[in-house]
Amino acid sequence: MKKIPVGISSCLIGQNVRFDGGHKRDAYITGSLAEFFEFHPFCPEVEIGLGTPRPTIHLIKAGMTVRCVGVKDPEFDVTDRLRNHAEKQKHLHANLCGYILKKGSPSCGMERVKVYEQHQSHKDGVGIYAQEMMRLNPLLPTEEEGRMGDAGLRENFIQRVYVYYRWKEMLETGLTPSALTQFHARHKLIIMSHNDYRDMGQLLAGVTKTNIEQIAEQYISQLMITLKKVASRKNHVNVLQHIQGYLKKDLTADDKAELCEIIERYRNGYIPLIVPITLLKHHFRKSPDPYIEDSYYMSPYPQELRLINQL
């Protein structure tokens, strides 16, 4: 598979674009993820002409609005320039399948950015550029590097990137009712691990050649919202037991007992998700099933990423 295009704050891949002339290179991003993602760096502060190094900026609340201004010179206001820059880059962002933002940045922070009001601060802001970029690209999987230290959030983001990448691939080959239905079937178990998939299935039940674009737009919007919720251990157990049902005629009593025990141990948090999935893969190699073989649930992304080893 070719590398997936993902936007990223330039400082995270080692570019010296920080206000102090430095960077915030992230070893996981430039190491493990760089093997599979083609990073497209963006630094809105430099790109709107602030230079490096530069005076620091921060978010302030003025009445009902939040502005991005200079720390030493509050009259230096770059709010509109940052928003307009996100608008100008919309055509570049449209080619991406994900975006990794810089934590805490007044321009690029995804959430919990410091906002100052009357000499006090509270962490409930969003970087000006990031906010506009996400508004203009509501389907784009977005995360910030600070949150990716959490195994569940990291896996969730990367899974969404791969789902969105496959969606774009499907659109390139041609959107048809059968292609859309097949896409849903291959992702149904992944959806099940996040939420109930039946509403999305009912949406597709009425798809025709005449309404397919409208249905597809509703479907992908609902799908990406659903996948934002980190899959719970309880939901994974439900999926694992559902998959086990496809083996009921093929397992010996001992095999079934072993698989049930492994799933139960996962439910109780004693082993990671990779263990029951590996055992299920073993049984399906001996007793293949077309539906399970086509499903992305047990292989949602390259196994070298080792994401489910920590879930």
* pLDDT reported for residue 62: 86
* pLDDT reported for residue 277: 97
Helix and strand tally (H, E) in the chain? 13, 8
Give the angle subtended at the CA of 20 by the CAs of 40 and 25, to the nearest 5°. Answer: 40
* pLDDT reported for residue 126: 98
Give the model confidence (pLDDT) of 34-51 as tens digits.
999 999 999 999 999 999
* pLDDT reported for residue 63: 86
pTM: 0.95
Report d(CA 183, CA 167) in Å as an integer.
Answer: 8
Residue ranges in the chain modelled with pLDDT below 70:
1
Give the angle subtended at the CA of 105 by the CAs of 131 and 147, to the nearest 5°. Answer: 85
Phi, psi of 68, rounded to the nearest 5 degrees: -110, 110
In the three-class reduction of DSSP (H, G, I as helix; E, B as strand; rest coil), residue 16 is classed as coil
Give the model confidence (pLDDT) of 16-39 as tens digits.
999 999 999 999 999 999 999 999
Give the model confidence (pLDDT) of 50-90 as tens digits.
999 999 999 999 888 999 999 999 999 999 999 999 999 99
Report d(CA 147, CA 166) in Å as an integer.
Answer: 24
Report d(CA 19, CA 17) in Å as an integer.
Answer: 7
Q: Which helix (H) or strand (E) holds 40?
A: strand 37-42
Q: What residues does each domain of the chain span?
A: 4-149, 160-311
Rg (CA), the chain: 22
